A and B are shown apart, each in its own frame.
Chain A
Amino acid sequence: MLLTHAETVALVLSFKVSLVGVACSLPVAVGCAWLLARTRFFGKPLFEGLLLLPLILPPVVTGYVLLIVFGHHGAIGRWLDAAGLSVAFRWTGAALAAAVMAFPLLVVALRNAFESVDRKLENAAATLGAGPWRIFFGITLPLSARGLVAGLALAFARAFGEFGATITFVSSIPGQTRTLPIALYELISTPGGESGALRLTLVAVVIAVVASLIAALMLLRGVTREADA
């Protein structure tokens, strides 16, 4: 089962877009997850709700918002265009769409991972003279590594499968924004495209299964170790 050139381009593009998207999403998600897990502040439920919006809104709506904000003449888009860093109709725009759509999954997974770290250990580290950054990088993060990897796997899968927001924001441009799900959609919509659609579907299934396995493995081993202790 070999993919056609167009299908291969879409597959490679999807990997590029998803990896970059999740990588960019990660620092923001870590910060937000830490705030949710370890701090209290006025308006926290509202903040949480806003973070989960991409999960709840129809992807097309999210894509439309991205278009208004980051497209040409957009509130942020115009500055990007002026700086030569335009994301409209580019793979970077597709990566942004992927990042936004994967973000809530990442925040939820990271928050759970941070909350599972015993605060008593963090307190002990504080009494030993560690400041908040040292506690975070030296204690919280290493002890939440499994949850982190699981979250990344799921977020990657979500980014990889992103369709509605992407096609609404950056349309379908082969080699730039036509990711695997978009290519798949086009093949399904074309009479005679069934065999190509099947090939791409199989690829998508493999990726989804691998992501699930990684996530399950990480979370399962974490649970077993607790049971032993």
Chain B
Amino acid sequence: MAEQPAIEIEGLRKSFKEVEALCGIDLEVEAGTVLGLLGPNGAGKTTAVRILTTLLPPSAGTARVAGLDVVRDSAALRARIGLAGQYAAVDENLTGFENLEMVGRLYHLGRSAARERAAELLERFDLSDAGARLAKTYSGGMRRRLDLGAALVARPPVLFLDEPTTGLDPRSRIALWEVIEARVAQGSTVLLTTQYLDEADRLADRIAVIDHGSLIAQGSSDELKKRVGGERIEVRLEDPTQAEAAIAALGQLAAERPWVDDGTIRVPVRQQRGAIAAAVRRLDTEQISIDDIAIRRPTLDDVFLTLTGHRSENGEAAQETDEHQADPIR
């Protein structure tokens, strides 16, 4: 299929007075896929989204969304995109239904179509019961769902979600992910910014990592993880003094020399298939008893650390891997 990319960005730059927020970004997003734009706070993610949704003019470079130029065709483009920003942009003094109806009217769906669509979205987002209540009585998760509903009112072919799950509890996050996945299954293209590595890992077909306004890597989640060094086996021994013997026994499996760290032997492997079984056999032959053995694949957090030299600034994902891994891969 020679379909035109849903988003094409070339040499995109944006500077605010003395600060350069985007320093020349090139990026393409295929129609019907999800691109995860990953980066720490202040990396330029939101600036990119604001340019692509016509809220900000670029300083230089071009960007086309759904085949339309974000500057020249901005008016036509707005009918083809949906935006859910970092703040749940709902009118607290309107009910959930009124919020969606208003957005439908502003997309010029017509009064009755706007009402039908509002009711449909409330249903889909599990807000039917709350539809007649003022949005100010909603919980954070409900507001986010309403906000995402507003972005979907016109069934836009391209959807921009700027940190859609920031500040949500785990259950609401998963619920929101499911909605986004359903939307993609129906053919929408999604550009999603996030600081959560697990979010990008789960939702995105391709991931672009930006830091300080520059694109520092892109690829599928697996490709990025490979760049960091592939899988490795981690073994804990019942008797730590046998470490040297174990390293000798596992040497043939290793892609590079294993090392010991915090009582755990780490063995980068050439291929994952059968690696655990082979390792167990070899250690067993040498009569070295195993306390624990596992295959460890690099996480996006490792990717982030390797690429940017600092950890993702966000919470759980980063901390979790911290505990597993005392020594970053180089």
* A, B from the same assembly: no
